[in-house]
A and B are shown apart, each in its own frame.
Chain A
């Protein structure tokens, strides 16, 4: 079936450094790719998303890049801060039989060390 692979599963960076999380999807028809941040015991919250008609999107310290040919998309966080520590999930919109489903990655636990 369709899936989304996410790497790494854990990531530790020093405060102020950059963090990059990568995802690969299998459905070439996928056209929408959201990223969620989930703090411990809390709900997933959308932090940025990208559609297949653009290659990059930026929002302050967060950016997402998309390579449709390689079916890769990545989350980039610059100037990391301790409050960026959380689990991050990527997702891809899987299109099937006239309907759709969001397929989530397995998550990356980001730790920003002060």
Chain B
């Protein structure tokens, strides 16, 4: 079984430019998460999807960040325009939540974004 796939793995852009990250979760997983991880810190949730619905986007900076999960499978996270402070690793994770909560999360390898 393939794990969570993310692309690109690395991205370097100039500030004010747009950037997009793509995530393909584990097949059959209904819940998808986007996290931001700064150097030396733990992951911080940006948005969580259950199927196609964004059920928690309270930490997503909506003035410049957007996300979508069409058809409840793949997801794209976009930043426009990027700022220097957006440099970080963007992690995607997925899980199969069948009842209640507390399902194991599987993380992708992340996209390391550098904004210059």
Interfacial residues, chain A to chain B (CB-CB below 8 A): 4, 6, 31-32, 34, 36, 42-46, 49, 51, 89, 91, 93, 95, 99-102, 104-107
Q: How far apart are the CA atoms of A83 and B48 in the complex, in Å?
A: 32
Closest chain B residue to A44, Cβ basis: B107
From DSSP, what is the main secondary structure of chain A's interface residues? strand
From DSSP, what is the main secondary structure of chain B's interface residues? loop
A6 surroundings in chain B (CB, below 8 A): 42
Cβ of B102 and Cβ of A31 under 8 Å apart? yes
Given A42-B109, A43-B91, A44-B107: A100 in contact with B42 (beta carbons within 8 A): no
Cβ of B45 and Cβ of A102 under 8 Å apart? yes
Q: How far apart are the CA atoms of A101 and B57 in the complex, in Å?
A: 11
Which of A34, A93, A105 makes the CB contact (< 8 A) with B101? Answer: A93
Cβ of B42 and Cβ of A32 under 8 Å apart? no
9 additional A-B pairs beyond A51-B102, A102-B45, A104-B43, beta carbons within 8 Å, are: A6-B42, A32-B102, A42-B109, A46-B104, A93-B102, A102-B43, A102-B105, A106-B42, A107-B40
Counting from the closest, the 4 A-B pairs by CB-CB distance are A104-B42, A32-B102, A43-B107, A100-B101
Closest chain A residue to B59, Cβ basis: A101
Q: How far apart are the CA atoms of A44 and B106 in the complex, in Å?
A: 8
Q: How far apart are the CA atoms of A88 and B3 in the complex, in Å?
A: 20
Cβ of A32 and Cβ of B41 under 8 Å apart? no
A51 surroundings in chain B (CB, below 8 A): 102
Cβ of B101 and Cβ of A89 under 8 Å apart? no
